[in-house]
Structure 1
Amino acid sequence: METRTERRHGMYRIELSDVYGAKSFMNPREPYTGGAGVQGQRDHVTGAMLGMAGETTLLCHSRTLLSENVDLLSAAGMRLPKVLPYSGREEYEEILESLPKSSTVFQHAHPRGALKEDVYFHKRSLLVWLNNKANMGELAPAESVPKRSMHTPGHLLSGASPLGFPKVFKVASEKSLGGGEGVRICFSDDDVRRAAQEFASESKVIIEEYVRVEENWCVNFAISDENDILYLGSANQIVNDAGEYQGNWISGEPRSEVVDLGRHVAEFAAELGYRGFCGFDVVVSESGPKVIDLNFRLNGSTPALCLEGARTGGRSTRLFRSWKCADTHGENHSFLLRLAQERIFIPLTGTFAWGGHSKVLGVLCGESRKEVSAHLDLMKSSGWH
């Protein structure tokens, strides 16, 4: 199986259509599950692939196609792809039901029975199996997976696991989870009780060894139709004390063992029939690299890693994250436009003056972390936090 490391392509050195084909559709949205409070964020991020879609048609919320966001993308040199806009759940589901068989790439598998399964680009069963945290030990070498055991929620308080504190609880289910969702780090019996209560409705929960992290990487690959594997690069993960993902630094490369471990998983997935993007969370500890999560989809860091260097003025140090501004009338839009024109800020998507604030997802670029941090301070001083 061929493994390649470089491909040059416009704003991005690889686009969705390079992997999925020009006749494909991309559905980046998480399913309409959970409370009303999370739906706005799920709609917001559907625009994050607008610059990277190529010839693939993108399903995205209509708010990501308003002039403020389109102007911002244009200022950075991006062109809009073919899109299928939706404004709410009913329209979203109608669009998905109308698409051809085997045409639609789902970033997140939807609940069983929610939609007809023949529209999936991948078999839904394969997508679910690969992303279920319970199966990580079958995809990665045993010595590269933290010690773990499977439990029902009712047994979490029984002390069945021999692991001491801290330890990690992870939901094992068909749900598409990411960014720390479905994961809780427990430092005490009180933490265990809270996690057990939170996960009471789940069928299975993993109790996993807590790994003391020296480095935390998201290692990205693309598996093409030709069954070859393209290494896209790796990003340092920014994670808070609760294990919640908050962004990435793109600066430097991990040691070869980290990339080799990710490649091992990608090759196994390719043998199972997976085609597409994938990103694996690999941490370096005193006992070597360990896989702590596998995501068979584009990851938050994927577009930032795939930016063509010439399009960022050759700035190789990048910070990927989201920003929010208490701006109900778009007053700070011109500031972002200027940074985008100068290629200091590469926007991925934005929703402006929605729900009393504006939000953008993007990449700050510089020659060094010090320079990027200075740009970050400038963003803060202009109201973007």
Structure 2
Amino acid sequence: MRESSPMNAGDGTYSYTKNSTVQRDGASGVKDAIKEALMENFDIEKMLGGSTIFTIADLGCSVGPNTVSAMESLLETVEHKCRQQGLEDLEFQVLFNDQIGNDFNTLFAALPQPRSYFSAAVPGSFYSRLFPCSSVHMAYSSFAIHWLSKVPEELQRKDSPAWNAGRIHYSDDSPEAVLEAYTNQFQRDMEAFFGARAQEIAPGGVMVMVVPGVPDGVVTYSGGVAFRFLEFILSDMVKEGVIEQEQVDLFNIPNVYPCVKDLRRLVERNGCFEIVKMEFGEVVVGKVEPENGIMLIRAVFEGCMANHFGAVVINQLFVRAMQHKLQFAAILNSAGIQGTAISQIMVVLKRI
């Protein structure tokens, strides 16, 4: 399975651009809390040390317009703080990072004209170094670090106790070995992530993250029932001979939904960041109808699934998903999910 799987490109019917309002509302729901944390804990004058260039990096920016509104909000806060500290004549640059295959053309077409900042694309994995040492003053990442750098290898070996046959993710009833494989991969990835950011973010700089997550002690993410829905459709396609069972057995969604306790432990293990704010919450995103939910799933996971099963098969899968949208609604209702809120963790860290 090829690991690179950006969100659906362009601005068409199935694009991330048209089907990411849940992620937008999730990030917007903590905007005021982020602003408050930054205003109280961010000393721009001390951090810049005489420099007149302020750099923000969005890690996992995707195609917009969510990143555009997020950067505008952060810049508004920074400019407010600058006025408060009597700083003038600063220039701002925003560095948009995502995988090499990301649709940067659609992103840059969405940038406001004119705008108050310089901009550039920085393609590459955020699990490795992306920027020069101490060159970033504020890093931001929203709905991105729950994507693993790769599917845990243990899930792809038939002789492994973590062989996840018939399933495409983990849940409360998953074997311990499956949960451990996902947990260990997330830990390795986060160690790499925080290690790279510790080198790139200037002392006194900050990192802001919005991460889909779960309460402490909980395993299954509320939106994870969508994976069970996809498993049901894949099972039917196997029975009809459209795909082989082994193809399903070898496929696993490379996502982990952490809790505050897990993230806190990984930040503290790195030792380079002070935790300014880290809290779990439910953010209201408005009613998401089953049809819109399926479109969201397609915009996010189609690339990942098409890399494994092929584009034709996955197009058929989502056609079937729409045909079974009432069953999807029943699955959501039985899980107590009304499609009106999203579970996430808001994090503000300060580089020591």
> TM-score, normalised on structure 1?
0.27
Q: Which structure is richer in relative contact order (CA contacts within 8 A, separation 6 or more)?
A: 2
Q: Whose helix fraction is larger, Structure 1's or Structure 2's?
A: 2
Q: Whose strand fraction is larger, Structure 1's or Structure 2's?
A: 1
